[in-house]
A and B are shown apart, each in its own frame.
Chain A
Amino acid sequence: MIRMRTVLVVLLCSVSLFSAFTNAAESMVSVSPPRALAEFSLKDQYGHDFGIEQFKDRWSMVFVGFTSCPDVCPVTLANLEAVRAEMGFRMRPDRIPNIIFLAVDPDRDTDVLKDYLAFFHPQYIGITGSGSEIDKLIKGLDAFYRLDKSGPEDRNYNVIHNATVSIISPEATVVASIRPPFHPHKTGEYLIGIINKHMQLVD
């Protein structure tokens, strides 16, 4: 009887440990081997060209969003900034990823992107462009979005999009993806591990 109870306890512990591991694994996934991005041609919020070259020589976190998103997008930007701040305590500044907001609703985003991002943080980078060029990067990120328009006259439409944030290496490869909730400490720890491991392999 005691033996059965012990087996049951061990089984229950194993199940809970496994589910904890699975949850962690689901929200933070490394891409191995890193996936190279294909060429694309977008503009940043200042009108400068932004292509695959602009991902090189620095780490990036790419978040798919749109400027008419008043609830989730500002929350995500604030949470990613909290992750960056946490990483700043324990990592070389040049390895802390930039936050890149991929604005997938160019009709409503292009004219306001600069002011929108400056309102949140002067260092945020926003990129957008034609639908076909946005789609090239979206495909490279293995991401998704859809403009949920009821018709051509609809101006208050929603945009359904990935909540996933892609982590891009200085070689312009996707090395990981992270999903909300973004806990500053846990997510920061994970990214520090991923980035340091990647840099050791590259060096």
Chain B
Amino acid sequence: MCEIMRRINNNLGLLWSVLVWGVMVVMSVSAVAESEGPLVVHSAWVPQAPPNIGVMAGYMSVVNVSSDPIVIAGLSSSAYEEVQMHQSLVEDGISTMAEVKSVVVGPGARIEFSPGGLHLMLIAPVSTDSSADTVPMTLHLADGGWIHFTLDIVAKTARPEVDVSDAHDHSMHAHHGS
């Protein structure tokens, strides 16, 4: 009898651990994720815009938590006339930028949209109102799905540090538009 009770107690302990860890994982994911589903968008931000500038660059991390590849087909925002994905490159001392039509996020992979590399081009703001704290965004998937999220508008003095050694990373799996 004592043995049975001990086993039940052990199993309850295991169940309790699983429950606690499960809640912690869900809490930690919801703390960073701004979307649900197989593609998680987090750490999405855009620098505060200089005055009268018609183009801004936005940044984010995307993580594919599924076992299948996911294709990002584009983005849109009610705050900008157009949103594109662009890749900055420095090759042979020449700085260029090219539009990227789609980005493939492999199973379990993370892709960083970061300064000096792959980034979002926010073109032509529809309003000159500078009081907003966030920019609404929709990420469109090639399979017809979509993800709503927001870019935090970050003041110049509070920007994440830029690691120059990682800038211009050519290694992401991106499909360049023709």
Q: Which A residues are closer than 8 A to B by beta carbons?
A: 67-72, 74-75, 78-79, 111-112, 115-116, 119-120, 144, 156, 158, 160-164, 179-183
A180–B92 alpha-carbon span in the complex (Å): 11
Contact A68 B54 (CB under 8 A): yes
Contact B94 A144 (CB under 8 A): yes
Contact A119 B86 (CB under 8 A): no
Q: Which residue of B lies closest to A160 (CB)?
A: B96
Q: Which B residues are closer than 8 A to A by beta carbons?
A: 47, 50-57, 86, 88, 90, 93-97, 115-116, 119, 121-124, 156, 162, 164-165, 167-168
Among A75, A115, A183, the residue within 8 A (CB) of B51 is A115
Contact B97 A120 (CB under 8 A): no
Q: Which residue of B lies closest to A79 (CB)?
A: B164
Knowing A70-B55, A181-B164 touch, does A158 contact B96 (C-beta < 8 A)? Answer: yes
9 tightest Cβ-Cβ pairs between the two chains A and B: A119-B50, A70-B57, A181-B164, A115-B51, A163-B95, A71-B57, A163-B90, A112-B52, A75-B115
Number of A-B contacts (CB under 8 A): 85
Contact A160 B95 (CB under 8 A): yes
Contact B94 A71 (CB under 8 A): no
- B164 partner residues in chain A, CB cutoff 8 A: 75, 79, 180-183
Among A71, A74, A78, A180, the residue within 8 A (CB) of B97 is A71
A-B contact list, 20 entries, CB within 8 Å: A67-B50, A67-B53, A68-B54, A68-B55, A69-B97, A70-B56, A71-B86, A72-B95, A74-B57, A74-B115, A79-B162, A112-B51, A116-B50, A119-B156, A144-B94, A163-B90, A163-B93, A180-B164, A181-B164, A181-B167
A79–B90 alpha-carbon span in the complex (Å): 15
Contact A161 B90 (CB under 8 A): no
- A79 partner residues in chain B, CB cutoff 8 A: 162, 164
Knowing A68-B55, A158-B96, A183-B165 touch, does A74 contact B47 (C-beta < 8 A)? Answer: yes
- B116 partner residues in chain A, CB cutoff 8 A: 71-72, 75
Q: A67-B50, A71-B97, A115-B51 are in contact. List 15 more A-B contacts (CB 8 A).
A: A68-B53, A70-B122, A71-B86, A74-B47, A75-B115, A75-B164, A75-B167, A120-B156, A161-B94, A162-B95, A164-B93, A179-B93, A180-B90, A181-B164, A181-B167
